[in-house]
Structure 1
Amino acid sequence: MKPLLTVDHVAKSFTAPDGRITPVIADISLELAAGEFISVVGPSGAGKSTLFHLLAEQTSPTAGAVTFHGERRAGQPFSAYMPQKDLLLPWLSVQDNAGIGLELSGMRRRDARRRIAELLPTFRLEGRATALPFELSGGMRQRVALLRTVVQNRPVLLLDEPFGALDYLTRTELQLWLSQLCARDGLSVVLITHDVPEALLLSDRVYVLSNRPATVRHVLEQQAPRPRDLSFLETAEFRHNERLLLDELTASTREGLAA
């Protein structure tokens, strides 16, 4: 069976107005099967966001290909993208912020609201349909943003550090909630994160990128089944994998400083 999503030896360079070429990604390959959760970690400036722009079809690779079920799908989006900031519109309610993508795709507002209402309990937002963003906590805002992403019903979810700006307790609570949600509903997810424990808690597989121009430095396969709870953080597997990832990341940072 072909993977759901394949990144096949992708490279990306940018050309400045004066003709200078800046390579950002040199060679990245990764795969995502249906129902899998993978994470991408790497040093700051390694090209993680550029990789996500490629996956979100906001830009095209200089070389290589991104395929869905082994095929290129020009004009047929296969992913839904959640950026770092929630980007909720302050004048719209929870239900209308969450349903804005459905409306933009042509669904009538009343039908979008009906669909959102069905999902509010799943996202722990029951009773908040008509609330405005300023009335919500940071964790609630992120759940609205994730609902806005999931409700588009695209095969692949792209999460760009969705909990990075939250406090430790809120972030941990949302990580555990997301772990349960993804495992229960069989969501297929690619996550960018700087948080090594987050990557290990949530992921089937973690890809470690090198410094720019990025390559895949290491691929870590995890054995513990998902969903995982906080007890996983006390296991020998977690401690071993955390040390391995931190060693790879710090080595990559040292190499970048020496270059």
Structure 2
Amino acid sequence: MAQVSRIPLIAGNWKMNLDHLQAIATVQKLDWTLKDARHDYGAAGSEVAVFPPFTDLRSVQNLIAADKLDIVFGGQDLSEHEAGAYTGEISGAFLKGLDCTYVLIGHSERRTLHGETDQQLARKFSSAVKHGLVPVLCVGETADDLEVHGPSAVPVAQLRATLAGVTGTPNFVIAYEPVWAIGSGQAATPDQAEQVAATLRATVAELLGEETADATRILYGGSVKSSNIAGFMRQPNVDGALVGGASLDVTEFASIARFQKHVGT
């Protein structure tokens, strides 16, 4: 693989937390805290994204646009369908109309709680790309998967299934989230994350070419905290983090982003 410079991404998935008023307060405080960090350490070119609930998106959009905040945002899911009789679903067109940059695809909670299949996620991925959204494809294994299949096998299989029908050079992000680590307080080790990330990148190269693989950012997600982000960010194939619970604590989330911004300085 060529040595390229990928802009690091720190993404906060709020899940089903924070109403629209709380979202406004959280984004405002996050922006203030990140500005303090840039003043103290200087901007290192990293990107910070939040994934609010659907009901918060318009409020977050208005705030970011009005105050020209250096934060981007995305949806937590999207429908594989364009429009029609699909009660409760949100199309890619709707998300793009709210200026979303990103959308999560295949988060482990969607796979387990809603039974989303690799084939369905492939269609969601295509819908996101069609509407100009950047899909953040989540892949990962359970503790049983890890014991039976070993590291990388399940995440790679999930990635292959999603990219099977993809052509060209789509802009997307991969988030490796070991299910056994999410919410457990026990993160994967940096070496474990790097091993899987390197294998995922090699798989993208095989399917879509080395140029796309070199440009694709791979995040680690699973009990990420300010106390362990440094180890992950030192790995050559880990380009950021998908943060869950810690993203609801503005001080903690900003500390994750702040460390990220001055790694190596």
TM-score normalised by length of structure 2: 0.34
Write 1 or 2 for the structure with the bigger share of helix: 2
Greater relative contact order (Cα < 8 A, sep 6+) = 1
TM-score normalised by length of structure 1: 0.34
From the CA coordinates, give the structure whose radius of gyration is larger: 1
